[in-house]
Amino acid sequence: MSTTTLILGGGWGGLTAAHHLRGLVSSDHRIVVVERGAKFSLGVSNLNLMVGKRDSVEQIQRDMEKLKRPGIEWVHSEIHSVDPRERTVETSSGRLTGDYMVLALGAELAPDSIPGFEEAAHNLYDAEGAVAIQDQLKGFEGGKIVVLVAGAPFRCPAAPYEAAFLVEAWTREHGIRDQVEVDLYTPESIPMAVAGPAVGEALSAFMDDRAIGHHFGHQVTQIDPASRTLWFGESEVPFDLLIGVPPHRPPGMLANAGLTDASGYVPVHPQTLEILSDPDTLEVQYPGVYAIGDVTAVRLLNSMLLPKAGVFAELEAQVVAAAIAADINDEPRPGVYDGNGFCYVEVGDGSAAYGAGDFYAYPGPRVTLQEPSEQAQRAKDEYEDLLDLWFDA
């Protein structure tokens, strides 16, 4: 009997799930990706855009129309509501029903939630914003550059630190380091807190080495674009160029479907990615319905959440695709997600520091960060190979 798998969201996680599943089930089983955007790009490419390693938005984007693998259908629609019990979605082009459903809707950006952010900050998490940063840097002659994390949790815990390292390196390469201050403000208590104190200390030391000011426990409350001032409650900080990571929020329709926990995101079983009815007992609900990537809340043994990053979305997508395929092919369920993850933290000058570890370890994640190397940077650059794997030019 033919089945239909609905994949909600065609980002990093959704497209990985679609491709992996396509390789595991015969062509009479439909795989349908519902995605509102007509273009795909990887967030990681924004860092390349920001410092001119990529020239334009067009260079990092691909048309969803050019998804190259036969047997992956793209429905270009906005999803309005989800019914996990019936495995049905209401979209701008009508109702869709599946035998399996994978929620891969990511996290939304909420720049409007901080007064002044949209007017004053160049949004690093938006490709056009990254181009604007590139333009600003080209004309920058001196002053104070601030990298601001405007709310937590946010995608890719390393990205704001990478932005600070890359900007600092850029000012050295362009001979204006003496005229520039680089500072990072964030509500976090330490960098990449989920990875533990050793990683946080290592990143703080990298910032000290490069004379990048770092200011933790700073939640911005408003920004005055006219006077170029950041407000953190009562205290104020001036800036000349503001590189911003906007607050994130979960897709609104999921709360209406009763799919979220107190974090606003979707609680899932840490190993199977099935949606939980009770995060304490790990009791699952809605057979055949899974959630992966940034839209999920995976609670770790230290009570923090698994970071929102593409590598986790990708690893989870592979586990979910294998579970759906096993069900379709009437085979035993294969492996589960084991909590291992990794990242490459770009530190400028063509180097990155490789961090990896077990996020499901007790009593909390066991993650180590290696010394920066050019080899790790080359490995990070290979993320963009996904564009050629998934899309025709």
Residue ranges in contact with ligand FAD by CB under 6 A: 9-14, 34-37, 43-44, 46-47, 78-79, 104-106, 124-125, 155-156, 159, 251, 293-295, 308-311, 313, 343
Tokens of 165: 């390292």
Q: 176 or 387, CB closer to ligand FAD?
A: 387
337 φ/ψ angles, rounded to the nearest 5 degrees: -80, 130
Q: DSSP string spanning 314-340?
A: HHHHHHHHHHHHHHHTT---------E
The least distance separating ligand FAD from the CB of residue 1, rounded to whole angstroms, comes to 28
Looking at this protein, which amino acid is placed at residue 289?
V
The least distance separating ligand FAD from the CB of residue 297, rounded to whole angstroms, comes to 12
Q: 234 or 382, CB closer to ligand FAD?
A: 382
Q: 58 or 78, CB closer to ligand FAD?
A: 78
The least distance separating ligand FAD from the CB of residue 124, rounded to whole angstroms, comes to 6
The least distance separating ligand FAD from the CB of residue 163, rounded to whole angstroms, comes to 8
Q: Which of 244, 26, 301, 205 is nearest to 117 (CA)?
A: 244
Q: Which of 12, 9, 8 is nearest to 389 (CA)?
A: 12
Residue 340: Cβ-neighbour burial (10 angstroms; 0-12, 13-18, 19+)? middle
Q: 92 or 329, CB closer to ligand FAD?
A: 92
The least distance separating ligand FAD from the CB of residue 328, rounded to whole angstroms, comes to 22
Q: 163 or 180, CB closer to ligand FAD?
A: 163
The least distance separating ligand FAD from the CB of residue 251, rounded to whole angstroms, comes to 5
The least distance separating ligand FAD from the CB of residue 74, rounded to whole angstroms, comes to 11
Is residue 290 within 8 Å of 103, Cβ to Cβ?
yes
Q: 130 or 322, CB closer to ligand FAD?
A: 130
Q: Which residue has the tokens 């955007």?
A: 37
The least distance separating ligand FAD from the CB of residue 314, rounded to whole angstroms, comes to 7
101 φ/ψ angles, rounded to the nearest 5 degrees: -140, 135
Q: Cis peptide before 153, with omega less than 30 degrees from 0?
A: yes
Name the 3-class secondary structure at 261: coil
Q: 220 or 243, CB closer to ligand FAD?
A: 243
Ranked by CB distance to ligand FAD, the top (closest) residue is 11
Q: 95 or 362, CB closer to ligand FAD?
A: 95
Tokens of 322: 């294998």
Tokens of 122: 């160049």
The least distance separating ligand FAD from the CB of residue 284, rounded to whole angstroms, comes to 20
Q: 36 or 249, CB closer to ligand FAD?
A: 36
Helix locations, 210-284, DSSP H: 253-256
Long-range CB pairs of 118-121 (<8 Å, 24+ gap) are 119/223, 119/225, 120/223, 120/224, 120/225, 120/228, 120/242, 120/244, 121/148, 121/150, 121/223, 121/242, 121/243, 121/244, 121/246
